[in-house]
Amino acid sequence: MTFEPPHVAGIDTGLVCTAVATAGRTARAVKIGRTGITKLPLGERTDAIVDLGLGVVDLIYLRPEEMPGMAWMFRKPGLVLIEAPDVSNAFGGLVERIQLYHEIVRSLSATRISYGIVPSAILKGYATGNGGVDKNKKRVKAAVAQLWPEYGKVNDDQADGIVLAAMGLDKLTGHRRVPDAQAEDWLNRPSIQWSAEIRRVG
């Protein structure tokens, strides 16, 4: 019997660029965002963030062409990993970025999709073995290019999303491309928050 890998997703949130990557059944890394949200009138700003959150969640589902022979119920991912929000004011739009994060998490909870919240240092450590500051995300992008070349050329945010998706696939199946000790160390850090008990499959 052939093993069918589960469908998982990774999300790196941002107002101008949220990256959504999928792994397992299909490998893609896309981006979605909107400029100028923080300059909108309050009511329009709130609506824009809600719409952006819905757009992000829509991207985690399998597309019809990616699911031949699969039942409709299997469109949604078995697990989604999200990078924990950066609460620094240095990047601007703190309130709006937090709202977007909560819109995404609320939608996942409402549709009973299991998810995990991963601190930035953890995804860096999983990909590279080093969770320290990664100036310009060069280490993570280099790791993605080496370990997950099927995604092609990606930006910094997409690279983070790809690592998160890879972590999700590892969590569900134990299939990984990083060294075992490195994966076990970073994937089992207590700072990762899980919405439910995650059971391995396959």
Query: Tell me, what CATH number does 86's domain have?
Result: 3.30.420.10
Does the pLDDT of residue 185 top 50, yes or no?
Answer: yes
- Residue 93 lies inside a defined structural domain of this protein: yes
| Confidence (pLDDT) at 73 | 55
- Residue 2 lies inside a defined structural domain of this protein: no
The model's pLDDT over 139-176, given as tens digits with 9 standing for 90+, comes to: 999 999 999 999 999 999 999 999 999 999 999 999 99
Does the pLDDT of residue 136 top 80, yes or no?
Answer: no
- Residue 32 lies inside a defined structural domain of this protein: yes
- Residue 70 lies inside a defined structural domain of this protein: yes
| Confidence (pLDDT) at 2 | 55
Q: How many domains does the chain have?
A: 1
- Residue 199 lies inside a defined structural domain of this protein: no
Does the pLDDT of residue 72 top 60, yes or no?
Answer: no
Does the pLDDT of residue 92 top 90, yes or no?
Answer: no
Higher pLDDT, 79 or 5: 79
Q: Which domain holds residue 108?
A: 7-194
User: Could you tell me the pLDDT band of residue 100, with boundaries at 50, 70 and 90?
Assistant: very high
Phi, psi of 20, deg, nearest 5: -125, 120
Average pLDDT, integer, range 103-116:
96
- Residue 201 lies inside a defined structural domain of this protein: no
HEC sequence for the chain: CCCCCCEEEEEECCCCCEEEEEEECCCEEEEECCCCHHHCCHHHHHHHHHHHHHHHHHHCCCCHHHCCCCCHHHHCCCEEEEECCCCCHHHCCHHHHHHHHHHHHHHHHHCCCCEEEECHHHHHHHHHCCCCCCHHHHHHHHHHHHHCHHHCCCCHHHHHHHHHHHHHHHHHHCCCCCCHHHHHHHHCCCCCEECCCCCCCC
Which residues, including other chains, have CB under 8 Å from residue 3's CB and lie 6 or more apart? 202
- Residue 1 lies inside a defined structural domain of this protein: no
Average pLDDT, integer, range 28-44:
95
Q: Which of 18, 165, 167 is nearest to 99 (CA)?
A: 18
Does the pLDDT of residue 1 top 50, yes or no?
Answer: no
- Residue 200 lies inside a defined structural domain of this protein: no
